[in-house]
């Protein structure tokens, strides 16, 4: 083998190594993107779960019920608590919209978020809180929330406990 042949073989090996390195880097980037999406989803689930558990505190649960219903008997302190609870929900929502627009949230997760917004924006207290708070948020989130507000009618006051009790009773009776 001549020196020229060794040169060509070494160049070929170097080219294959470069292609191999590019494939490896591409796989690593893809893995990192998937990992980041997973972490973002986990953080969203943790944030939502933590907020739900905090609202389960008896005092906050009482405010949640009164505020969601638009109870006119809210005291100034209760009103402040209600507005802070909804602000946290709206901030979380804005973050979800931004994550989705940035490609960091799946369509399925986004659809779940939208279904939740539609559910809560049917409650008079949420609607009123949004109308009072909307100027504190970015234009994209304002447009999204305003469109939901226009689409979703105000729901009649539902007795979720009575519905839950009836459903549980039906399952108990059917299981016997």
Look at residues 80, 117, 79, 122 and name the one whose alpha carbon lies nearest to residue 95: 117
Q: Could you tell me the pLDDT band of residue 175, with boundaries at 50, 70 and 90?
A: low
What's the CA gap between 154 and 123, in Å, rounded? 6
* pLDDT tens, position by position, 92-147: 999 999 989 988 888 998 999 999 999 999 999 999 999 999 999 999 999 999 99
pLDDT at 27: 76
Structure-block tokens of residue 156: 């009649």
């Amino acid at each position: 083998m001549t020196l020229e042949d060794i040169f060509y073989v070494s160049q070929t090996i170097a080219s294959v190594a470069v292609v191999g390195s590019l494939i490896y880097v591409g796989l690593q980037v893809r893995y990192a993107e998937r990992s980041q999406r997973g972490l973002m989803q986990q953080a969203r689930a943790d944030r939502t779960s933590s907020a739900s558990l905090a609202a389960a505190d008896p005092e906050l649960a009482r405010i949640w019920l009164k505020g969601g219903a638009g109870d006119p008997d809210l005291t100034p302190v209760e009103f402040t608590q209600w507005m802070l609870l909804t602000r946290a929900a709206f901030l979380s929502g804005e973050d979800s919209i931004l994550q989705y627009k940035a490609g960091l949230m799946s369509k399925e997760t986004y659809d779940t978020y939208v279904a939740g917004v539609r559910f809560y924006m049917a409650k008079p207290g949420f609607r009123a809180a949004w109308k009072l708070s909307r100027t504190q948020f970015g234009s994209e989130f304002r447009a999204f929330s305003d469109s939901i507000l226009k689409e979703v009618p105000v729901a009649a006051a539902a007795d979720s406990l009575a519905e839950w009790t009836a459903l549980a009773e039906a399952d108990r009776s059917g299981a016997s």
